[in-house]
């Protein structure tokens, strides 16, 4: 446990020294800010009550789909490239501690950025009478945080497979997009098969549940299971290095 925290802390603080993290943060706030401003304007012009959920949609897609691969791509490829992986694997650190630590550090960094986006609903709350639907915002953010957890775990897992950072980046964007499109076949299917493809899609639980204010146990366990599965596969990849 202690090692996980040590690695997570190093990973987290590392982002504050990384230009990439600042660029990612700036892009997220800029794009969200522009979208927010336009959305508010349109709402004022056409005289309807703005809903913050619509603003969050741009954070879910495409912002997180791009930002997560960018910030997870280096987590293990860099260790692999610079030889520090050899250092960590020959120090008394268990493979799962390394993977979980890497994921936790990155996840905490995203939590920080997501927490900063709370500024927008605060502004909207001040502008809109009698205020925005706060429980809905909580449910939205809970969904986004859970989805970020799963997507970050996938990014770290894919980073463990590669020595080349760009390869890891493209592979994780691809994996996330495929998981996003996974619900498409359900259009042509029915019954259990359709349910399967709908549920395997990474955004289904968000769009069908959390986004509408429905916090379901299934939704929560879906994202937690996906996180655990990805971290488990990442650990196996690291382990497999020892046997190759």
Partner 1 sequence: MITVQNLTKDYGLNRAIENLNFTAEKGEVLGFLGPNGAGKTTTIRILTGYMPPTSGSADIGGFDVIENSLEVRKLIGYLPETVPLYGDMRIYDYFKYMADLRHIKNPDEKIEEVLEMIGLELRSQSLIKNISKGMQQRVGLGQALLHEPEVLILDEPTIGLDPKQISEVRNIIKNIGKERTVLLSTHILSEAQQICDRVLIINKGKIVAEDAPENLQSRLSSIQKVRIRVANDPDKAAALIRDTAGIMNVKINDNGMIEFENKVEHDSRAVIARTLVKKGFELLELTPEIISLEDIFLKLTREEPSEFSPEALEGQEE
The site for partner 1 (CB under 8 A) is made up of 2-3, 6-7, 10, 14, 17-18, 82-84, 86-94, 241-244
> Given the complex with partner 1, which of 160 and 205 has the nearer CB atom?
160
Residue 156 tokens read as 């770290």
Quote the least distance from Cβ 114 to partner 1, whole Å.
24
Least distance between partner 1 and beta carbon 1 (Å): 11
Peptide bond into 147 cis (omega under 30): no
Nearer to partner 1, 98 or 144 (CB): 98
Nearer to partner 1 (CB atom), residue 80 or residue 175: 80
Q: Which is nearer to partner 1, 161 or 226 (CB)?
A: 161
Residue 130 in tokens: 């009698």
Tell me the closest approach of the beta carbon of residue 7 to partner 1, in angstroms: 8
CB of 28 to partner 1, least distance (A): 22
| CB closer to partner 1, 2 vs 218 | 2
Among residues 189, 186, 161, 151, the alpha carbon closest in space to that of 71 is found at 151
Nearer to partner 1, 148 or 159 (CB): 159
Query: In the complex, what is the shortest distance from the CB of residue 157 to partner 1, in angstroms, rounded to a whole number?
Result: 21
Shortest approach of partner 1 to residue 174 CB, angstroms?
28
């Amino acid at each position: 446990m202690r090692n996980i925290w040590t690695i997570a802390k190093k990973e987290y603080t590392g982002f504050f020294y990384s230009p990439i993290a600042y660029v990612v943060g700036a892009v997220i706030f800029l794009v969200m800010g522009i979208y927010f401003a336009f959305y508010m304007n349109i709402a004022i012009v056409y005289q309807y009550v703005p809903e913050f959920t619509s603003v969050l949609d741009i954070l879910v897609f495409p912002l997180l789909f791009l930002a997560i691969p960018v910030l997870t791509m280096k987590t293990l490829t860099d260790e692999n490239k610079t030889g520090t992986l050899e250092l960590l694997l020959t120090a008394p650190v268990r493979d799962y501690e390394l993977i979980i630590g890497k994921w936790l550090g990155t996840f905490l960094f995203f939590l920080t950025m997501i927490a900063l986006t709370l500024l927008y609903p605060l502004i909207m709350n001040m502008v809109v009478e009698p205020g925005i639907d706060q429980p809905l915002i909580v449910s939205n953010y809970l969904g986004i945080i859970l989805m970020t957890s799963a997507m970050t775990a996938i990014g770290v897992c894919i980073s463990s497979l590669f020595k080349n950072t760009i390869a890891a980046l493209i592979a994780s964007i691809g994996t996330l997009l495929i998981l996003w499109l996974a619900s498409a076949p359900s259009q042509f299917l029915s019954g259990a098969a359709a349910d399967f493809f709908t549920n395997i899609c990474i955004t289904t639980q968000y769009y069908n549940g959390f986004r509408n204010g429905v916090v379901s146990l299934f939704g929560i366990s879906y994202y937690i299971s996906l996180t655990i599965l990805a971290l488990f596969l990442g650990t196996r990849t690291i382990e497999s290095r020892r046997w190759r």
